Structure 1
Amino acid sequence: MFGRIGRFSVTRPWLTIVAWIVAAVALSALAPSLKSTDDQADFLPSHYESVQAGKLQERSFPQREQSAATIVFQRSDEGKLTDGDKAAVAKVAKGLQDKKYEKIKQVTADPSAVSPDGTIAIASVVAGDKDVYDEVIVDGIKTMRQDAKALLEGTSLKAGFTGTAATALDSRESSGNTDGMVMLATLVLIIVLLGVIFRSPLIALLPVLIIVLVFMVANAVIAFASDLGGLKADAGTSAILIVVLFGVGTDYILFLLFRYREQLRTGQQPKEALIEAVGRVGETIASAAGAVIVAFLALLLSTMGSMQAMGPSLAIAVAVTLVAALTLVPAVFSLLGTKAFWPSKAWQRQPKNAMAHRVGGLVSRRPGIVAAISTGLLAVLAVGVFGFKAEFDMGSSMPKDLESVKASKVLEKGFAAGETDPTLVYLKSDGGAKLDAPALAAFRASMAKTDGVGQVSEAVTNPEGNVALFNVALKYRPAEEKAISFVADTLRDKAHQSAPDGTEALVGGTTAVLADIETAVTHDYKVVFPVAGIAILIILGLLLRSVVAPLYLLLSVGLGFAATLGATVWLFQDLQGKNGLLFMLPIIVYLFVVAIGTDYNILMVARLREEVARGTSPKEAARLAVSQSTPTIGAAAIILAGTFGVLMLANNSMLQQMGFAVAFGILLTAFIMAMLLVPTITTLLGDKAWWPRRPETGQPSTAAPVTSHEPEMTAGSASR
């Protein structure tokens, strides 16, 4: 099948290329815009309490004011506020209110909103829209900051903005144009590395141009799929999508080009060599892409909407890349023939590859020792995984010199840490009857006595009087682990137990959402991991026609996953002193390292199977497979790891963690597992590795005489 696909693309290159260009332009022009959200509450299913509380708010308090930001005032000398200072606070708040920012309902300064020690005052910025992440509101906070500086001139005060919209603003500006930075750095990295590997400007540039075309098609298909399926794209998906497309796309192109060059060195004509290369590695590329696709689709089983949205998007991107690798890439290179390698002549002679031959020799001579050392190294790194702590506080990943971060620290000195984003406790009557005032007071008093609660507001009832809302300011920052644990266990239990007869209590707000996300992620660990693993196992079994080889392949990659996560824990938690790692990191590492990293294992074991099918002994098969595959795997892994490593340039520790973990995991998979562990285990098992059927000998060539619809470009014509 893959030989036929290669033949069509190679003999009809212009038809294939024009079809791709037309598809890219048409789809990009017609595709709807992707809808994006930063609000994690949008990504939880309806059975979680925080979501139920949000729905109750929409029904009972549709016009409820939402706190967009908090302005924190203090004297420049950090002393006690005077009466003049307090009057200046009120004047600044009124000045900002009079400017009437779009979607900002009001800016208020309550005279009583002064810290007990008299050093800090606060003013509230109230949004006129329930979505405080709205771009208009966030931009309004940006303008308001500048206006506040002007209003503070001539006073002894300084002020800082914190809270939800202010934090969103700082997050956006601190990361800068992350997508653009990732795209540029990725392009430069790929071009430079391809240029060094092939010493050809065409091969350095062509894959990038091909992948840009694939990126256009993939983005459009994702937009159509999201529109039809009602999926929301998480705000961070675009940067990951860029890395996946360029990283995986370059991998598949390298798999094909290395095999193409190998066939040319046997004396085949360029078109025949290209068809042979597609036929030989087409199944390997398809299997590798299939493993990645099913792993990403396993995210559909996640309870997190962000994961559910990311999974299909990345799966579509990889599927489009697979089609391009089997059609567009052969078509482009069939037009160029050996001119693609100009000015280098290295394609005409067998490379020395001294290092690859030494590694192959070592693997074949000392398989037991190499396997033991490789396993031991991975096991030592894996120990660190036991220290993993999930971090849900996205603000902790932001630079400490940002205004929202500094203002939050000042606020915590004088008020409850949760003042800017209180937990919302709702009390509703079961039968729709009006709530009793004494019962509400008793409920409020019970909540206020809970250790960990800073203060509880008076009850605010809806017009019907059957639902009451209490703002509960915690003593902890809303997104820190203490707050999340407190809300998930103590506060919810207290609210449920203290609810008067005939009423029901629901706990919502940011901290409650994070508590439910923690529960959802724990569920996902138990469901997504095994499903993705089983799916990859099935694909490996179909590729290798074996039961044994897929099992030890998946086990080795699982060990690599643990080693990757353990190394990340040691680097960021132990050495850098981070409180924890991105809560989604285990899922991301599992999917990217197990799925994408399996590409190299698949390439190696497919080559092992090919050598065994020729009748060579297990040791000789390992030597030849490692010698032939090491340059391809090494080059592909360095480029792919480099593209993910680009994320470490972001001014955000969460992206840095993701970049390091995936890049390190890919390098482990390539250089330890694919080059050392997999071939040594295969050698030690011998024919048992291919049970129940040993690969058949004498595999025929997939190439046949070419009947071209284009002028034939021979090696001789290419050199002229």
Structure 2
Amino acid sequence: MKKHPFEVWGSLVASKKGRWVTLGFWVLLVAVLSFTLPQINSVENKNAENLPATAASNKAEKIIEKQFPDNSGIPLLLVWHREDGLNNADYKKIQTLYASLEKKPVEKQSLVPPLSKVPPTALAQSASENGSTIVTPVFFDEAATTEQLEKGLKNIQKQVKDLEIVTTGDYSQADQLNLRYSGPVGISIDATGLFKNADFKLMAATVLLVLVLLILIYRSPLLAIIPLLAVGLAYGVISPTLGFMAEHGWIDKDAQAVSIMTVLLFGAGTDYCLFLISKYREVLLRIDDRFEAMKVAMKESGGAILMSALTVVIGLATLALANYGAFQRFAVPFSFGVLLMGITALVVLPAMLVIFGRVAFYPFVPRTEKMALARAEKIGKPVKQHKPSHKISRKIGHFVTSKPWTVIAVTVIFLGGLATFTPKINYTFDLLSSFPEDMSSREGFTLIEDNFSAGELAPMKVIVDTKGKEINLKDDLSKLDYIASVKEPQIGKENKDIQLYEVSLKVNPYSPEGLESVPQITKDTKKMMQEQGVSAAHVNIAGETASQYDEKTTIERDESIIMPTIIALIALLLFVYLRSITATLYLVLTVVLSYGAALGAGWIVLHYMLGVDAIQGSIPLYAFVFLVALGEDYNIFMISEIWKNRKEGKPLKLAVEEGVVHTGSVITSAGLILAGTFAVLGTLPIQVLVQFGIVTAIGILMDTFIVRPLLVPALTTVLGRYAFWPGKLFKKK
């Protein structure tokens, strides 16, 4: 009789000799890679662009670089503030700092305005209308790395310290001069610092959480450590390999992606380990020889583990189709990491389990009846067999198969009700809103926002080509009801027909209304040009508002491409594995429903409970990719058990019930661990990760406790043999 491929594989990697060869090879591989290649966390973050070069705002910036060159560099904005109004002593301190910067430039400083030579009264004219705030720039070399910018800022901070200026704490104190560092340089340094500090904390918190949960679930010290060892060995290959790729420019290292990848690997990796451990323990109750038991366990669970991993790998790989840079930078690390984690669960873990044998489960050692009797005779007292009780899972399985329509109605209404909150979600594309409120760059921005008019925060730059006609659009632009002010036009350096108008909006330039003004001002400006005789007028919009509008449209484009693609690919995988069109359809629909419910529930928690006004615009796509891929993981593992039961000839209801029973505890454990690891992101001071962690954790819990044990088995029961159509099991009575 021909052996099952995974049974053969089990005999290779988990035989008496093969176990040591397998483990030794992997440990040696980790050692070699760790000593010869850089770890991914040690590679410098490239700060790659998120918008493609073809984005309208990028094209506009290229025109500005050519026609209106400004070689001053990247600005660090120094935001000075005194609650009861800046005084002459404050202005003198500002001038003292700038005089020092002129004499002794800091690292990579390219330019400082000659503020030390300006009379204090003239400097005061640049302050806010209420006289409490002024913004002064220091420019740095555009080619400077984040590390060099950080050194330059630290040098400035040392000089500021000598001037007795307050840079932290409550800036509303009336009797002190406050300073905050913002602008592109301040934001870049703060962003890098956030992720730099988050890496170790995230790794430590994730490992500790998984360890505690494993001990609580299995109450076995060794069994808690073995999955973590397996994940650690996988990470030992993944991290230096990704570091090598990043160092050679094959991928762009993204600190945010690396942080989330750590969580995903420990969560998903532990899940794959639990799937095999659970099946191995079950087989050890009926087979004496641990090596033979592993072959059977691999045969019965290897296919589901491989399919689960491939589902996640393919799902995450679809991010490579994105135009948005951050999505693209996630694709390779995530899909590669999960692929290696799946391989580890099928290669290293079996070897480790047979090395430890039944001792791994101590003190709840699984024994066959024969072994239990032999041990009882040896020690002279009865030996208890530690069989899983499955009491709760059995009750759930029986209830679901007895009242499937009730289960379907209640779960669909509940999940659908939560999903109705998704249209109410507000989105933001502002990076600063993701920073902690007490971070210097965000506090500086808040001071500017509170003390200057909204449009002055980030003026729009409207660029037009007059095609040789005598045109001045300042007055026409000023008449638009959403425009606060317009400066006199600048004329292009190389092409005198190119004009640039700096426009301030009446609304916050980062608000949804501000973003929607980009297509509106483009349309209105084209109309003005046509009225003045310029046909087929070219209008380009630059500035922060235009960039964020392009970010919004780029993400919307990526959602329209990636979401259908991941559904189609996962559906194809499911069909190949299950040979059932019907099952493929309802398995995909259930996770999509679960995603909608998770997004709605996440908004309820974030907005109505935590007071968040808007979530980051990238969250829906990230959550969709992760929840659909990971949610299908659990469906595959449970549905595989139902299919196996039917192949063994069990009646449909019994096959479904037993499927719920035998996968209930392991999927519940896996779901709790995976949700817990994503919830760890909620402890970080980075709002985008907090929001992503909360939404994803909620979605995983819904898959674990509603979709997998209730909705999917209920649908399978109602559909009966049509759940297997058109496969072989459809014809089975």
What TM-score, normalized by structure 1, do the two folds share?
0.88
Contact in 1 for aligned 2:483/2:504 (Cα 8 Å): no
Deviations 1:186-217 (A, max 9, x none): 10111111122222222211221221221121
C-alpha separation in 2, matches of 1:148 and 1:603: 60
- Partner of residue 559 from structure 1, selected from 578, 585, 593: 593
- Partner of residue 651 from structure 1, selected from 685, 694, 697: 685
Distance 1:53 1:26, change over 3 A: farther
- Partner of residue 65 from structure 1, selected from 67, 72, 86: 72
Higher mean displacement: 580-589 or 446-455: 446-455
Distance 1:173 1:226, change over 3 A: closer
Contact in 1 for aligned 2:109/2:152 (Cα 8 Å): yes
Distance 1:55 1:23, change over 3 A: farther
Distance 1:409 1:454, change over 3 A: farther
Distance 1:224 1:170, change over 3 A: closer
Instruction: Name the residue aligned to 2:631.
Output: 597
SS of the residue 2:77 aligns to: strand
Deviations 1:576-620 (A, max 9, x none): 332211211111111111101111111111101111111111111
Contact in 2 for aligned 1:96/1:107 (Cα 8 Å): yes
Contact in 2 for aligned 1:65/1:130 (Cα 8 Å): no
C-alpha separation in 2, matches of 1:444 and 1:696: 73
Instruction: Name the residue aligned to 2:344.
Output: 324
C-alpha separation in 2, matches of 1:99 and 1:60: 32
Instruction: Name the residue aligned to 1:134.
Output: 146
C-alpha separation in 1, matches of 2:327 and 2:103: 42
- Partner of residue 261 from structure 1, selected from 267, 281, 287: 281
C-alpha separation in 1, matches of 2:503 and 2:450: 18
- Partner of residue 418 from structure 2, selected from 345, 365, 381: 381
- Partner of residue 104 from structure 1, selected from 87, 109, 130: 109
Q: Which amino acid aligns with 1:48?
A: A
Instruction: Tell me how large the CA RMSD over aligned residues is.
Output: 2.9
Contact in 1 for aligned 2:421/2:601 (Cα 8 Å): yes
1:429 positional shift: 7.8
Q: Residues 302-701 of structure 1 correspond to what in structure 2 (within 5 A)?
A: 302-345=322-365, 348-417=385-454, 419=456, 421-426=458-463, 439=471, 442-444=472-474, 446-447=476-477, 450=480, 451-456=482-487, 459=490, 461-462=492-493, 471-486=502-517, 488-496=518-526, 501=534, 504-695=538-729
Deviations 1:267-307 (A, max 9, x none): 34111111111111111011111111111121122121221
Deviations 1:385-433 (A, max 9, x none): 1212222122223232333333323323443345455444445687xxx
SS of the residue 1:191 aligns to: helix
1:473 positional shift: 4.7
SS of the residue 2:303 aligns to: helix
Distance 1:107 1:418, change over 3 A: farther
Distance 1:364 1:412, change over 3 A: closer
Deviations 1:324-353 (A, max 9, x none): 111111111121211222333356432222
C-alpha separation in 2, matches of 1:517 and 1:597: 28
Instruction: Name the residue aligned to 2:303.
Output: 283
Distance 1:209 1:98, change over 3 A: farther
Higher mean displacement: 402-411 or 10-19: 402-411
Instruction: Name the residue aligned to 1:43.
Output: 50
Gaps of 5+ in 1: 699-720
Instruction: Name the residue aligned to 1:161.
Output: 181
Contact in 2 for aligned 1:94/1:107 (Cα 8 Å): no
Instruction: Name the residue aligned to 2:126.
Output: 113
C-alpha separation in 2, matches of 1:328 and 1:288: 17
Higher mean displacement: 453-462 or 47-56: 453-462
C-alpha separation in 2, matches of 1:643 and 1:454: 49
Q: Which amino acid aligns with 2:425?
A: F
Q: Which amino acid aligns with 2:483?
A: G
Higher mean displacement: 211-220 or 591-600: 211-220
Contact in 2 for aligned 1:145/1:161 (Cα 8 Å): no
- Corresponding pairs, count: 686
2:57 equivalent to 1:26? no
Of all paired residues, the percent bearing the same amino acid is 28
1:446 positional shift: 4.7
Instruction: Name the residue aligned to 2:97.
Output: 92
C-alpha separation in 2, matches of 1:419 and 1:460: 22
Contact in 2 for aligned 1:67/1:421 (Cα 8 Å): no
- Partner of residue 124 from structure 1, selected from 117, 137, 142: 137
Contact in 2 for aligned 1:453/1:473 (Cα 8 Å): yes
C-alpha separation in 1, matches of 2:306 and 2:692: 26
Distance 1:167 1:277, change over 3 A: same
Contact in 2 for aligned 1:495/1:506 (Cα 8 Å): no
Q: Which amino acid aligns with 1:3?
A: E
Higher mean displacement: 105-114 or 307-316: 105-114
Contact in 2 for aligned 1:378/1:559 (Cα 8 Å): yes
Q: Which amino acid aligns with 2:72?
A: E
C-alpha separation in 2, matches of 1:474 and 1:94: 35
Gaps of 5+ in 2: 167-174, 368-384
Instruction: Name the residue aligned to 2:163.
Output: 151
SS of the residue 2:105 aligns to: coil
Higher mean displacement: 199-208 or 523-532: 199-208
Contact in 2 for aligned 1:392/1:582 (Cα 8 Å): yes
Higher mean displacement: 278-287 or 397-406: 397-406
Higher mean displacement: 462-471 or 270-279: 462-471
Higher mean displacement: 374-383 or 504-513: 504-513
Distance 1:182 1:244, change over 3 A: same
Instruction: Name the residue aligned to 2:378.
Output: none
1:69 positional shift: 2.3
Contact in 1 for aligned 2:267/2:677 (Cα 8 Å): yes
1:464 positional shift: 7.2
Distance 1:74 1:224, change over 3 A: closer
C-alpha separation in 1, matches of 2:539 and 2:407: 61
C-alpha separation in 2, matches of 1:199 and 1:664: 26
What TM-score, normalized by structure 2, do the two folds share?
0.86
